[in-house]
Amino acid sequence: MSAKPRKTYTFVNREIIMRKKNNILSDRKLLIMAIFIAVGIVFIVKLFSLQVLDKHYKQLADNNALRFITQYPARGKVFDRNGQLLVFNEAVYDLMVIPRQTIIKDTLDPYYPFDTIGFCLLLDIDKNSFIERMNKAKNISFLKPSPFMTQISKENYTHIAEVLYRYPGFYFQTRTVRHYPQAIAAHTLGDIGEISQAELEKDQENYYRQGDYIGKSGIEKFYEKELRGVKGLKVMMVDVHNREMGSYNDGELDKEPIAGKDIYLGMDAELQAYGEQLMVGKIGSIVAVEPSTGQILAFVTSPTYDPNLLVGRERGKNYKELQNDPMKPLINRAISGTYPPGSTFKTVVGLIAMQSGTITPHTVFHCSGTASLPIKCTHSHGPSPDFANAIMNSCNPYFYEAFKATINNSKFGNIKKGYEYWKDMTYKMGLGHKFNTDIPYERSGNIPSREYYDKMYKDQWNSVTIRSLGIGQGEVLVTPLQLANIAAMIANEGYYYPPHLIKCFGDTTAIPEVMTTRIEPGIDRKYFKVMKAGLRTVFSGPAGTARRFELSDIPQCGKTGTAQNPHGNYHSNFIAFAPADNPKIALAVIIENGGYGATWAAPIASLMIEKYVRGYTVREELEKRMMEGRISYKNER
């Protein structure tokens, strides 16, 4: 009797449970249907957005009918300090190729074959060259444009453009190349060329593409970002025959390029050209600096070359010829040539000796002329010169003794500490290191360290061991740029601005601070005044080594140098500045294998001073002799 109620109770519960399960399944079904409907709505909205509202994918689909053309900005022009144009742009044309389009489908002909023979005749190239260029383009990208032939002239462009529609996949892109109206200062101005793979890999901005041009040397390299400007974009519609049909969508996607900044150099173009004339037939350099600013007035290296040789389609060929020239015209000797300074270095030795308290302007040292030991004198003068007479006569024993007394000075404790003081002072005067301004590939020169001598002589060295440093020989090496800076520092009586090429940007953008920072080496001004007076006697004194080149109306100061050269005749060196009281120009001249300093370097320096200060020269005979003079390098090259 008790089992039936339990059975009825169980049946009723099961029925309730089944109803609940059916309700749950029904709810899930509705939920799933709702999810599918929602997803479908999302897809419909997205497709509507992509196909109707968003034009981006339509533009991608139209790529076969659109041409995206990079608009290259006009590169900034370069002027000298007086506004003379040194570098400007000329239009050329790059023939671009999209490899995928060189064979296209056509409604009339299933496959329109590319006329390779006709194309080669049009461009005056052979089939092998065509294949090589096409393979290079394919390696860059099969779908995107890349250069097939660069820097095509206006004349050739007109001829080719008339029939280019016959050759699918090819089109012209306008570019500019540099032109140099005065053909001077090739090393300073530098050149531009096609970007290399290594340069592309260093491009963190992702600005450049294969085939773009970039500054390779000189200011073109250093000021690349300022000169290059900002690229623009032009989107053109093209027909099936590769002919442009006009701007896409009224130029909606076009972007105008921004021209590069113009640059004004501190260089004086006339002085630069004059210096290059004086250096014809000689190997060496002239560096002239404006003492009050550090701006380089002339940056002459010889032999040089016409910068227009490294422009256009013949650039590669001409570069190889210059590279193989035994006279090495591609070397910028103003910054890459390192030389013993010879007697010009006596200015440095004398200033440090006075500042250290080792000598005074009245200190005398004995000189026995050619009989002097351990360093002989090459000039005939009194046996006990003071500082001024030692400078005027370029007395070797005097400056050896001054150097020896400096590093042996008891105030330093020992010779090694004395030498470290001396070396540190030369560093502060701009020697033994780069200036790190806007001059690429500058070399440091060499002022040997104490550790160098410790290793070379196994700690057994003294002032006699390194005596050659006192007269600018031995291991000490300088660049012409560093020597010119020494002259500028003396002209300013105790300070200098790091030598640099730029004067200003055309848009008044400030130049880097390093180039306007005044540097003082820590030598009292009174000693520079003493040095100045001594250098004045080099021109004006009765025994001055440059007295033959004195100018009555332009007081000059200078120092000759005759540097020994193990590979041939002595190098002829000279530093100078003028006018003495308010210097406008300081310079250094080095003529390789030129003999005595007064033979070539001193007269060239004096003519450069006259040209810049006066604006013209009056010593026609001297000028002719310097310009027409040639030095034989057959035995040295």
Q: Which residues of 465-499 are buried (b: 16+ CB within 10 A; e: fewer)?
A: ebbbbbbbbbebbbbbbbbbbbbbbbbbbbebbbb
Question: Within 13 A of 45's CA, how many CA atoms are on the CB side?
Answer: 6
Rounded to 5 degrees, φ, ψ at 361 are -60, -15
Token pair belonging to 533: 């007076």
| Per-residue 3-state assignment (H helix, E strand, C coil) for 232-295 | EEEEEEECCCCCEEEEHHHHCCCECCECCCCEEECCCHHHHHHHHHHCCCCCEEEEEECCCCCE
Sheet of 284-289, strand order: 296-302, 284-289, 585-591, 571-578, 557-563
Evaluate whether 450 touches 475 at the Cβ level (below 8 Å). no
Tell me how far apart the alpha carbons of residues 572 and 590 are, in angstroms, rounded to a whole number: 6
Local confidence band at 241 (pLDDT 50, 70, 90 cut-offs): low
Question: Within 13 A of 71's CA, how many CA atoms are on the CB side?
Answer: 13
Query: Considering the domain 66-265 in this protein, what is its CATH number?
Result: 3.90.1310.10
Q: Which residues of 41-75 are buried (b: 16+ CB within 10 A; e: fewer)?
A: eeeeeeeeeeeeeeeeeebeeeeeebbebbbbbbb
Local confidence band at 146 (pLDDT 50, 70, 90 cut-offs): confident
Tell me how far apart the alpha carbons of residues 443 and 434 are, in angstroms, rounded to a whole number: 6
- Alpha helices per DSSP H over 124-177: 127-140, 154-161
pLDDT at 42: 75
Local confidence band at 385 (pLDDT 50, 70, 90 cut-offs): confident
Q: Which residues of 78-114 are buried (b: 16+ CB within 10 A; e: fewer)?
A: bbbbeeeebbbbeebbbbbbbbebbebeeeeeeebeb
Look up residue 243 and give its amino acid.
R
Tell me how far apart the alpha carbons of residues 128 and 114 are, in angstroms, rounded to a whole number: 16
Mean pLDDT within 165-186:
89
Nearest alpha-carbon partner for 151 in 97, 215, 94, 69: 94
What is the distance, to the nearest Å, from the Cα of residue 336 to the centroid of all Cα atoms in its chain?
12
Tell me how far apart the alpha carbons of residues 276 and 41 are, in angstroms, rounded to a whole number: 78
Question: In the predicted model, is pLDDT for residue 389 greater than 70?
Answer: yes
Tell me how far apart the alpha carbons of residues 311 and 177 are, in angstroms, rounded to a whole number: 7
Q: How many CB atoms lie within 10 A of CB 118?
A: 12
Q: Domain 269-322+338-628: state its class.
A: alpha beta
Strand partners, 577: 557, 586
pLDDT at 55: 56
Sign of CA dihedral 310, 315, 318, 322: positive
Nearest alpha-carbon partner for 437 in 538, 335, 539: 335
Helix axes 415-428, 450-457, angle to 10 degrees: 140
Local confidence band at 9 (pLDDT 50, 70, 90 cut-offs): very low
pLDDT at 360: 95
Local confidence band at 637 (pLDDT 50, 70, 90 cut-offs): very low
Question: CB under 8 Å to 60, separation ≥6 — which residues?
Answer: none
CA distances to 362, 397, 447, 529, 534 from 358, rounded to whole Å, are 12, 16, 21, 17, 18
Token pair belonging to 183: 């053909």
Identify the three-state secondary structure at position 355: helix
Token pair belonging to 554: 């332009």
Identify the three-state secondary structure at position 572: strand
Evaluate whether 107 touches 537 at the Cβ level (below 8 Å). no
Local confidence band at 60 (pLDDT 50, 70, 90 cut-offs): very low
| % of the chain exceeding 70 in pLDDT | 89
Residues 322-373 pLDDT 10s: 999 999 999 999 999 999 999 999 999 999 999 999 999 999 999 988 888 8
In this predicted structure, which of 98-102, 181-185, 378-382 has the lowest mean pLDDT?
A: 378-382
Evaluate whether 319 touches 310 at the Cβ level (below 8 Å). yes
| Domain assignments of the chain as residue spans, ordered by start | 3-54, 66-265, 269-322+338-628
Evaluate whether 363 touches 387 at the Cβ level (below 8 Å). yes
Mean pLDDT within 445-458:
94
CA distances to 30, 534, 537, 607, 610 from 392, rounded to whole Å, are 109, 6, 6, 20, 22
Rounded to 5 degrees, φ, ψ at 68 are -95, 110
What is the distance, to the nearest Å, from the Cα of residue 593 to the centroid of all Cα atoms in its chain?
28
Mean pLDDT within 393-417:
93
